Copies of this chain bind each other. A is one copy, B any other.
Amino acid sequence: MTLRHFLSTQDWSRADLDALLDQAAAFKRSKAGRQLEGKSIALLFFNPSMRTRTSFELGAFQLGGHAVVLAPGKDAWPIEFDVGSVMDGETEEHVAEVARVLSRYVDLIAVRAFPKFQDWSIDRQDRVIHAFAKYATVPVINMETITHPCQELAHIQALQERFGRDLHGKKYVLTWTYHPRPLNTAVANSALQIATRYGMDVTLLCPTPEYVLDSRYMDFARANVAENGGSLTISHDPQSAYRGAHVVYAKSWGALPYFGRWADEKPIRDAHKHFIVDEAKMALTDHGVFSHCLPLRRNVKATDAVMDSPACIAIDEAENRLHVQKAVMAALVS
């Protein structure tokens, strides 16, 4: 049997994803389970985390298992990812050994590894998690690299809780928002993937054509539309994009052509602070809900009024991280 990882929702069938969401809903009704009884998961954080760490650690506990949290380069040894390199620099051990040894200890390995933001042609290879998937002999889970599949499931669960199981015909706006620094495109890539996967009419709203996402994810989205119905539109005009929307999902990200020369991107970014999600824009929607993966800078990405309104489902989505990740862990060890 082939080793099954959870690296991207695109690798999983709709039936598989639906089964995960059903199990997540069951865990939301009743949190305890024995699916990880005596089992364990290593959580490798190359970047900070609050929700991901807490929800995975508690999810393992609630299913009878145990999570070991490791921060390579901080409390654990720095890791080499290049194949064949003469390791006379800063790294102390190769991912081959890390993945193989952890596979002897634990039943699952989860990895958070953000891009380096210097060269997108390198970052888009997503080498860290693929290296773990290559060398590990246990399933590997993506806790956010250049996509964030656990967030995708939590997001869809939150939408289904509001709109019912079938999301076809819902107008979905993925909007870029301002943040003082250029951020990871992971959640934006993920939103594009999963919203088209579930057949919604998706608008990617961003400041300029340079903020359109990587062709890999645009192509996934188009293929998803072809398979599942719905549509995909690119817009640079907030007013028309918000009009009639049922879902507004916000995320800030850095424009891909500016990787490694972010000073040049800053003026464009700074000129689009008005992309903030506010009450005026939300008023254009069709009683639309608002969400964000969190952390969110209030009054920069979205206003207090939006965050504190009944339309905001970001806390529900964050809660669902716990439930969907328990479903993923349970599925991978079964």
- The interface bits of chain A over 273-304 (1 if a CB of B lies within 8 angstroms of the residue's CB, else 0) are 00000000000000000000011111110001
Q: Please tell me if A307 contacts chain B, counting CB pairs below 8 Å.
A: yes
Give Cα A66–Cα B59 distance, bound, in whole angstroms: 11
Q: Size of chain A's interface in residues, with CB distance under 8 A?
A: 61
Of the stretches A6-14, A93-101, A222-230, A257-265, the one at the interface is: A93-101
Which parts of A24-77 form the interface with B (CB within 8 Å)? 31-32, 38, 40, 42, 45, 48-51, 53-55, 57-58, 61-62, 66, 68, 70-72, 74-77
Give Cα A111–Cα B291 distance, bound, in whole angstroms: 27
Give Cα A68–Cα B66 distance, bound, in whole angstroms: 12
- Contacts A307-B96, A315-B104 given: A75-B53 contact, CB under 8 Å? yes
Q: Please tell me if A3 contacts chain B, counting CB pairs below 8 Å.
A: no
Closest to A66 in B: B61
Closest to A97 in B: B294
Most buried by B among A91, A94, A100, A101: A101
**Are A298 and B48 closer than 8 Å at their CB atoms?**
no
Residues on B with C-beta less than 8 A from A319 are: 101, 104-105
Q: Please tell me if A15 contacts chain B, counting CB pairs below 8 Å.
A: no
Closest to A57 in B: B68
**Are A297 and B87 closer than 8 Å at their CB atoms?**
yes
Give Cα A98–Cα B75 distance, bound, in whole angstroms: 21
- Contacts A49-B75, A91-B297, A101-B319 given: A42-B68 contact, CB under 8 Å? no
- Contacts A70-B53, A92-B297 given: A32-B38 contact, CB under 8 Å? yes
- Contacts A38-B31, A101-B318 given: A68-B96 contact, CB under 8 Å? no
Q: Please tell me if A322 contacts chain B, counting CB pairs below 8 Å.
A: yes
Give Cα A293–Cα B76 distance, bound, in whole angstroms: 15
Residues on B with C-beta less than 8 A from A80 are: 297-298
Give Cα A314–Cα B98 distance, bound, in whole angstroms: 11
**Are A77 and B295 closer than 8 Å at their CB atoms?**
yes
**Are B101 and A315 closer than 8 Å at their CB atoms?**
yes
Give Cα A57–Cα B294 distance, bound, in whole angstroms: 27
Q: Please tell me if A271 contacts chain B, counting CB pairs below 8 Å.
A: no
22 examples of A-B residue contacts, CB within 8 angstroms:
A40-B58, A40-B61, A48-B75, A49-B75, A50-B70, A50-B93, A54-B105, A58-B66, A58-B68, A58-B105, A86-B299, A86-B300, A91-B297, A96-B298, A96-B307, A97-B296, A97-B315, A97-B318, A100-B315, A101-B315, A104-B318, A104-B319
Chain A residues proximal to chain B, CB less than 8 Å: 31-32, 38, 40, 42, 45, 48-51, 53-55, 57-58, 61-62, 66, 68, 70-72, 74-77, 80, 84-88, 91-94, 96-98, 100-102, 104-106, 180, 294-300, 304, 307-308, 314-315, 318-319, 322
